[in-house]
Amino acid sequence: MHLPYDTEKFYYGFPVYILAYPDEAVGVGITTGSSSYSLGQMVMIGCDSTTHAARSIKRSGVCSLNLFGAEAMGLYEYAGTVSGGNKLADTRVASSDHDGIPVLDDSQMSLLCRVLEATDDGSYTHFRCEIIQRLVTPALIDENGRFRYEDLHTVEYVGDARRRIYRYFSDRVERFGRFVRPFKDSLLP
């Protein structure tokens, strides 16, 4: 039987990423996020409306969502907790420009995004973005040009109002559709 769990917020597992965006003051700004989802050629990104990142992305209309693995935990926490300054230069993270969209070169995968709509909702801004291009590290592509799903090692953010944690992916992968037949068979009398 379920029990009520009262908390003002709950994150049930979302990929942690670094947003990179044009910044008028320092050239390229970065911040950490975990509020996103993707459908087809669209990605939704949520930010605190009061942040420099939200204002800069609204102004420029572009950003990149950069996925790293556990090797970037220091970068994740630094970019997400330090305010102001030139965080990209401070962290010595290499970036490149893709038609005005900054990309972090050492990421496993980067989604280049063009903002289609920015909606303010209380203290949050929701960015509905078109994915212009997906860039991946060569290690994620096999000799036949296929994506190596088992080698993408993102980090998940899980937490509530009391505690926040990171979860890490394993190498276990299963093909979609593998479980439905055995499950259906288990339902038979």
pLDDT in tens, 16-26: 999 999 999 99
Asked if pLDDT for residue 172 goes beyond 90, the answer is no
Question: What is the C-alpha to C-alpha distance for residues 125 and 123, in angstroms, rounded to an integer?
Answer: 7
The pLDDT value given to residue 132: 98
- Going by C-alpha positions, the residue among 5, 1, 7 that lies closest to residue 162 is 7
Residue 45's Cβ-side half-sphere holds a number of Cα atoms within 13 Å equal to 35
For the chain, list the domains and their CATH numbers: 10-187 (2.30.110.10)
Percent of the chain with pLDDT over 90: 93
Average pLDDT, the chain: 95
With cut-offs at 50, 70 and 90, classify the pLDDT of residue 169: confident
Asked if pLDDT for residue 2 goes beyond 90, the answer is yes
With cut-offs at 50, 70 and 90, classify the pLDDT of residue 171: confident
pLDDT tens digit sequence for 96-132: 999 999 999 999 999 999 999 999 999 999 999 999 9
Is residue 123 within 8 Å of residue 49, measured between CB atoms?
Answer: yes
Asked if pLDDT for residue 41 goes beyond 90, the answer is yes
Give the torsion sign (CA, 159, 88, 112, 136): negative
Asked if pLDDT for residue 174 goes beyond 90, the answer is no
